[in-house]
Structure 1
């Protein structure tokens, strides 16, 4: 049985290089994030070269993993994703509910800034790790 999160922990949905086995595997952060389960969100995944970017909403689906993270990990993820308070960074930090099995979890999701996807190809499978 997993411990209940404290008020200082949050959940994050990761869909690209932060997934287990990815080049920025979230397990490298400390305190170590706890894998809660796999999930799918509505959105479109774009190929940005060495990493993907998600645009939330619409008919498409994006495959990812959900982790319970401490505030210090959230701060490090914000830096990695280039989140800026004025909304001009590479990614925008959003919040949405993600179904993980039968449980609905409120999660952070890093959405690519719309200006970064022009001319980029979509990943129709919605899975960064799926073969092309």
Structure 2
């Protein structure tokens, strides 16, 4: 069975996170994709919740070669605040994949919505203001 992982926040390819050094051999970047979700600013990271209103979140897809190690490390990193579930992601070329996604596990009430589809763009613009 092939495992894919969709990431939209601090695990993105272009985000500098030391933890990713532990995963270097266990996963491989495949490309950008999007999911139907709403994204919120939880503090120093985002949280996505399923959304059927047409909102989308852009992220990166990785092919997971070593799911035992990768998900052990990431489940610990994400903690109880996030729950890992399979979901549909749409790659840039239109292909749909079933990938693991870490969904925010709480109600985002009171958390500011991120209007950008892309967390990295949101961070760039947030630092300007």
TM-score tier by shorter-chain length is 0.7 to 0.9
Moved more, 44-53 or 102-111: 102-111
Q: Aligned residue for 1:22?
A: 15
For structure 1, list consecutive stretches of 5 or more residues without a partner in the other structure.
Answer: 1-6, 83-88
After the TM superposition, list the runs of 4 or more consecutive aligned residues in structure 1 that deviate by more than 3 angstroms.
none
1:68 paired to 2:59? no
Q: Distance in 2 between matches of 1:61 and 1:25?
A: 27
- Tell me if the contact between 1:35 and 1:65 (Cα under 8 Å) persists in the aligned partners: yes
For structure 2, list consecutive stretches of 5 or more residues without a partner in the other structure.
Answer: none
Taking structure 1 as the reference length, the TM-score comes to: 0.80
Q: Aligned residue for 1:31?
A: 25
Taking structure 2 as the reference length, the TM-score comes to: 0.82
Query: Shift of residue 37 of structure 1?
Result: 0.9
CA RMSD of aligned residues (A): 1.8
Match of 2:3 among 10, 18, 33: 10
Q: Report the structure, 1 or 2, having the larger helix content.
A: 2
SS in 1 for 2:70: helix
